[in-house]
């Protein structure tokens, strides 16, 4: 608990600053490509005005939205631009729409060039400010609610913004080290305590190191990256889920959707000027080859027998391009080993790498003499380029078949934190639990809804079904959960309501609209449809309300679609023709019984209090920069947090195990065995899963004659 709190105070400033650049990008190469930029604007505005679900006029209101979004995208922490800059920019506040219609990028060029200059200035700001000790006796505060904080009036005030932010980072580190020293003295009387001055100096050194690493990454970013920020301000004015994807971003998106990639099977991380091996993917080529290890540094990359290319100082995205490659090809890595510092050339034959954590997995548990199973479905994945590749629907069908062989009598499908994916697989997975019939309604702009049906009469699972959701179950997860709820096929259990993303996006290669252009223009992920439940209501903003709501840490947080600026509105369409399964003889009784258990459960009561406390802290954005007061405020917060130290301490007496088919794989894959053991341990400590099992064990299926009568 304490560690989490300290991060939110001491490192919040740094985290906010990093977030300014992770999603977007800047500097180093300022080489512009005016022709490409204008082509992108030309094509995007035409696609959006013709194909987006929402008819949106490019007018003054639109212009103002792009203006605010772009400036906020570049400078969310208000550390670069001043009110003087904003005054100059404001001459174009209501002209951006007109400029876009004329393929004019005057506004973008002005803001972008000014931003590059500000980035260069920032390096001198933080370097100078961190040279001297901060005055921690001074009574002053910092407000980090940057939506409300005004831009600095001028450069002098801007430097003071920097001073306060760096001071906050420093004071947090000093406090943390002071507490560590106190703890060590209690254990060892001879422990040599550092003075406050030494701790403060060490803290500034660490802050400086972090800033240098941050700006090293910033300097790797190029004009295309920052122009992507501007393009996303334009397309995002239509709705939050319409985004421009540069070619490499699309590649990552495909990887996340398919759960696989072609390469060596290693996760890489940039540290300073070096590319480090962060983690090996279990079962991947590098893992099988056995010589590459986490912590190793890649110095050079060679394609087969070709000359090696030095990648020291290369941006991570570019280094990855040389390391990845087609299945069956050889890559030779010159590596500095972590253990002894030796240099070694390692040859690896690339292959298709399956990212196992993105795929369906299941666990079996026995309760009161009966076997139940939980299937974890992390996303509705699919490989659109390969119909024969595994996808979530095929894997779910296969997993259920394997569980049936082991005489499982009830099933939990865990959709917590499942952000969605393929609409196709959501429909197919829904069809595994019903005879046949409509699953979802999809509507294009200005047209009548289209009913998407499961046409396969085969039912893969006709037993009891509980679906576990939370506030981050979104999109395709909501289609599946809503269908099962509308058919009364499953009990939905979890957070009060799911995320609320009721829109459908299509990925469009921009070059197909400008076929003679040689350069890769990237892709547009555009909202083209809204989807609706078979009962006619949209899941947009509302999400799916749980049959049984359980308190969670997010209960009072703003985390859903309804909290996004520009989110499309909720509406409804006519109800589709479908017949409820009404699968359970005691549905209402089971729901009532569970609600009573939750209401009287001390763990859930504490979680609800914790959620309220988190909400209160989320709204407190002012911190003292006086050392004594900062320590006192932090101590008070930690004392409050102590009350919630055991909030998620829970241990059931249930034992979870892998299905037999998977256990046979453990002999040759210890990494998989270790991952499953950790998962099963977490399941035994998961009170939400335990309550889902209580519900599952109480559900009584109707007989076939009872269902027919209904």
Domain ranges of the chain: 2-238, 260-354, 358-599+651-709
Query: Does 358-599+651-709 match 260-354 at the fold level?
Result: no
Q: How confident is the model at residue 485 (pLDDT cuts 50, 70, 90)?
A: very high
User: Residue 503: pLDDT above 60?
Assistant: yes
What Å distances lie between residue 426 and 290, 423, 431, 571, 651, CA to CA?
38, 5, 9, 21, 33
DSSP secondary structure, 240-265, as one string:
TT-EEE-HHHHHHHHHHHHTEEEES-
Q: Are 384 and 523 in contact (CB under 8 A)?
A: no
**How confident is the model at residue 4, as a pLDDT?**
34
Q: Show Cβ contacts of residue 498 under 8 Å, excluding neighbours closer than 6 positions.
A: 469, 470, 471, 473, 474, 477, 478, 481, 539, 543, 544
Residue 133: which of 627, 707, 555 has the closest Cα? 627
CA separation for the pair 256, 252 (Å, rounded): 6
CATH class entry, domain 260-354: mainly beta
State the helix-helix crossing angle for 2-10 and 155-187, rounded to 10 degrees.
150
Residue 653: which of 677, 682, 684 has the closest Cα? 684
Residue-wise pLDDT for 419-434, tens only, equals 999 999 999 999 999 9
**Token couple for 184:** 């060590």
Q: Give strand pairing partners of 348.
A: 331
Q: Are 465 and 433 in contact (CB under 8 A)?
A: yes
Q: Are 235 and 244 in contact (CB under 8 A)?
A: yes
pTM of the model: 0.83
User: Residue 707: pLDDT above 70?
Assistant: no
Centre a 10 Å sphere on the Cβ of residue 480 and count the other Cβ atoms it contains: 31
Q: Are 246 and 225 in contact (CB under 8 A)?
A: yes
Choosing among 3.90.79.10, 3.90.226.10, 3.20.20.70, 3.40.50.300, the CATH entry for 358-599+651-709 is: 3.90.226.10
CA separation for the pair 383, 392 (Å, rounded): 10
**How confident is the model at residue 705, as a pLDDT?**
62
CA separation for the pair 686, 42 (Å, rounded): 52
**How confident is the model at residue 356, as a pLDDT?**
66
**How confident is the model at residue 17, as a pLDDT?**
34
177 Cα distance to chain centroid = 31
Helix residue ranges per DSSP H, 90-154: 96-101, 106-129
Give the 3-state DSSP-derived string for 267-290, with helices as H, strands as E and coil as C: EEEEECCEEEEEEECCCCHHHHHC
Residue 484: which of 552, 437, 424, 542 has the closest Cα? 437
Residue 413: which of 492, 351, 335 has the closest Cα? 492
Q: Are 302 and 308 in contact (CB under 8 A)?
A: yes
Q: How confident is the model at residue 205 (pLDDT cuts 50, 70, 90)?
A: very high
Q: Show Cβ contacts of residue 50 under 8 Å, excluding neighbours closer than 6 positions.
A: none
Residue-wise pLDDT for 628-678, tens only, equals 999 999 889 888 888 898 898 999 999 999 999 999 999 888 888 988 999
Q: What is the sign, positive or negative, of the torsion defined by CA atoms of 276, 279, 281, 284?
A: positive
């Amino acid at each position: 608990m304490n560690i989490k709190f300290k991060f939110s105070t001491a490192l919040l400033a740094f985290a906010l600053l990093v977030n300014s650049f992770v999603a977007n990008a800047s500097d180093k190469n300022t080489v512009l490509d005016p022709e490409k930029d204008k082509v992108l604007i030309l094509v995007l505005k035409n696609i959006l005005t013709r194909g987006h679900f929402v008819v949106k006029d490019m007018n003054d209101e639109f212009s103002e939205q792009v203006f605010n979004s772009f400036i906020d995208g570049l400078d969310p922490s208000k550390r670069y631009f001043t009110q003087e800059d904003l005054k100059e920019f404001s001459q174009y506040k209501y002209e951006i729409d007109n400029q876009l219609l004329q393929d004019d990028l005057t506004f973008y060029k002005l803001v972008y060039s000014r931003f590059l200059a500000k980035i260069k200035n920032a390096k001198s700001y933080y370097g100078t400010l961190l040279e001297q000790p901060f005055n921690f006796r001074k009574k002053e505060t910092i407000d980090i609610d940057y939506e409300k904080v005004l831009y600095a009036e001028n450069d002098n005030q801007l430097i003071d913004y920097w001073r306060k932010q760096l001071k906050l980072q420093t004071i947090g580190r000093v406090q943390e080290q002071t507490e560590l020293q106190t703890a060590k003295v209690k254990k060892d009387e001879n422990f040599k305590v550092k003075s406050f001055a030494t701790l403060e100096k060490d803290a500034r050194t660490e802050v400086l190191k972090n800033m240098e690493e941050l700006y090293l990454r910033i300097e790797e970013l190029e004009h295309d990256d920052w122009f992507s920020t501007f393009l996303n301000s334009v397309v995002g004015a239509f709705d939050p889920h319409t985004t421009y994807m540069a070619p490499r971003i699309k590649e990552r998106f495909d990887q996340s959707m398919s759960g696989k990639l072609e390469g060596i099977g290693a996760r890489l991380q940039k540290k300073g000027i070096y590319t480090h091996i962060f983690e090996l993917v279990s079962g991947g080529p590098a893992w099988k080859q056995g010589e590459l290890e986490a912590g190793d540094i890649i110095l050079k990359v060679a394609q087969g027998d070709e000359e090696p290319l030095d990648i020291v100082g290369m941006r991570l995205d570019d280094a990855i391009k040389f390391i990845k490659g087609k299945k069956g090809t050889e890559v030779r890595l010159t590596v500095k080993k972590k253990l002894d510092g030796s240099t070694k050339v390692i040859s690896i034959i690339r292959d298709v790498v399956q990212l196992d954590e993105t795929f369906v997995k299941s666990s079996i548990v026995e309760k009161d003499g009966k076997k139940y199973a939980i299937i974890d479905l992390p996303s509705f994945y699919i490989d659109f380029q390969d119909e024969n590749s595994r996808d979530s629907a095929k894997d779910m069908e296969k997993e259920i078949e394997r569980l049936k062989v082991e005489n499982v009598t009830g099933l939990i499908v865990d959709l917590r934190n499942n952000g969605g994916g393929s609409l196709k697989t959501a429909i197919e997975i829904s069809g595994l639990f019903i005879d046949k019939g409509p699953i979802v309604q999809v509507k294009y702009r200005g047209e009548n809804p289209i009913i998407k049906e499961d046409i396969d009469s085969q039912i893969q699972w006709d037993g009891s079904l509980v679906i576990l959701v939370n506030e981050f179950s979104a999109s395709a997860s909501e289609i599946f959960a809503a269908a099962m709820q509308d058919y009364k096929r499953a009990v939905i259990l979890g957070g009060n309501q799911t995320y609320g993303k009721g829109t459908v996006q299509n990925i469009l290669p921009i070059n197909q609209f400008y076929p003679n252009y040689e350069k890769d223009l990237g892709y547009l992920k555009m909202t083209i449809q809204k989807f609706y439940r078979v009962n006619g209501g949209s899941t947009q903003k509302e999400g799916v309300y749980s049959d049984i709501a359980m308190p969670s840490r997010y209960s009072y947080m703003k985390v859903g679609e309804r909290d996004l600026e520009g989110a499309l509105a909720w509406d409804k369409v006519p109800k589709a023709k479908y017949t409820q399964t009404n699968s359970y003889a005691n549905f209402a009784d089971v729901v009532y019984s569970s609600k009573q258990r939750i209401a009287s459960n001390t763990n859930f009561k504490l979680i609800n209090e914790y959620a309220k406390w988190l909400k209160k802290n989320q709204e407190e954005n002012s911190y003292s920069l006086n050392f004594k007061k900062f320590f006192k405020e932090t101590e008070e917060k930690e004392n409050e947090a102590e009350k919630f130290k055991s909030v998620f301490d829970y241990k059931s007496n249930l034992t979870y195990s892998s299905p037999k088919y998977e256990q046979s794989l453990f002999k040759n894959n210890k990494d998989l065995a270790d991952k499953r053991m950790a998962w099963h341990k977490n399941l035994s400590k998961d009170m939400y899963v335990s309550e889902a099992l209580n519900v599952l064990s109480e559900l009584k299926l109707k007989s076939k004659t009872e269902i027919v009568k209904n």
